């Protein structure tokens, strides 16, 4: 059989078509590739938060009498060996590697509260945006233990976030009238998160807390 000869022009066109197809396939792969969320669920908008605050009648905060973190069981098992803490570390980090026990052994985390980046999970705490003691003083003292457990492990609302451990410890159980993230660019988001959680869970607000939130959100 005689060999088949192709003109240089036809051969060049076919090479060009192949290169274009490869490029388009690569672009499609990049566009369709999932990216890490690296953040809690998106909170309600500033406008929605302001609208809700307009309906809130401030209430004097209750006491911490009888309070214990043990009354808010955490961290619950989410799937297999993974509990809520490890789930949040995976969600909020970038390129997080977990071992067979679901512990984060690699990755990096950006702490939204202070702008620090960490590469060791031990440098991070999982902050309850609305602290457990704050929730207790705002109405959770009357909840069942099961409901408090749901609150302490809430992955659906923007209630949990991985942040610098020392920053979380400095925040303690303070509300926005007494503590805000030092990174001012995150304060609007933080206020929206706080209002979102309190609204969903039906928790009360005191006057100082509400005033601080209104002031922040009016500037958003």
Q: Which two tokens stand for residue 22?
A: 């490869």
Classify burial at 62, counting beta carbons within 10 Å of its beta carbon; exposed 0-12, middle 13-18, buried 19 or more: middle
Q: Which of 216, 158, 162 is nearest to 184 (CA)?
A: 216
92-101 CB contacts, 8 Å cutoff, 24+ apart: 92/37, 92/38, 92/39, 92/40, 92/161, 92/162, 93/36, 93/38, 93/162, 94/36, 94/38, 95/36, 96/36
pLDDT of residue 38: 82
Question: Which regions of the chain are under pLDDT 50?
Answer: 1-36
In angstroms and rounded to an integer, the radius of gyration of the C-alpha atoms of the chain is 25
Q: Which of 96, 106, 171, 160 is nearest to 128 (CA)?
A: 160
pLDDT of residue 35: 38
Please enumerate in sequence order all residues whose Cβ is within 8 A of that of 93, keeping only pairs 6 or more positions apart, or say none: 36, 38, 104, 107, 108, 109, 162
Phi and psi at residue 203, in whole multiples of 5°?
-90, 145
CA distance 10 to 90: 51
pLDDT of residue 67: 98
Classify burial at 160, counting beta carbons within 10 Å of its beta carbon; exposed 0-12, middle 13-18, buried 19 or more: buried
């Amino acid at each position: 059989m005689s060999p088949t000869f192709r003109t240089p022009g036809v051969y060049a066109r076919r090479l060009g078509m192949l290169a274009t197809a490869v490029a388009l396939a690569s672009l499609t792969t990049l566009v369709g590739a999932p990216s890490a969320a690296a953040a809690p669920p998106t909170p309600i908008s500033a406008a929605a938060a302001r609208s809700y605050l307009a309906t809130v009648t401030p209430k004097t905060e209750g006491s911490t009498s009888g309070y214990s973190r043990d009354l808010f069981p955490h961290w619950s098992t989410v799937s297999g060996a993974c509990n809520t803490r490890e789930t949040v570390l995976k969600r909020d980090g970038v390129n997080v590697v977990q071992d067979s026990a679901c512990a984060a052994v690699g990755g990096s985390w950006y702490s939204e509260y202070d702008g620090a980046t960490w590469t060791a999970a031990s440098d991070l705490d999982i902050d309850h945006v609305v602290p457990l003691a704050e929730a207790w003083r705002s109405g959770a003292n009357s909840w069942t233990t099961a409901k408090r457990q749901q609150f302490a492990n809430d992955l659906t609302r923007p209630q949990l976030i991985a942040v610098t451990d020392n920053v979380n410890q400095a925040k303690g159980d303070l509300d926005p009238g007494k503590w805000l993230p030092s990174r001012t660019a995150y304060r609007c988001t933080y206020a929206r998160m706080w209002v979102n959680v309190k609204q969903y869970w039906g928790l009360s607000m005191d006057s100082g807390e509400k005033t601080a939130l209104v002031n922040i959100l009016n500037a958003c």
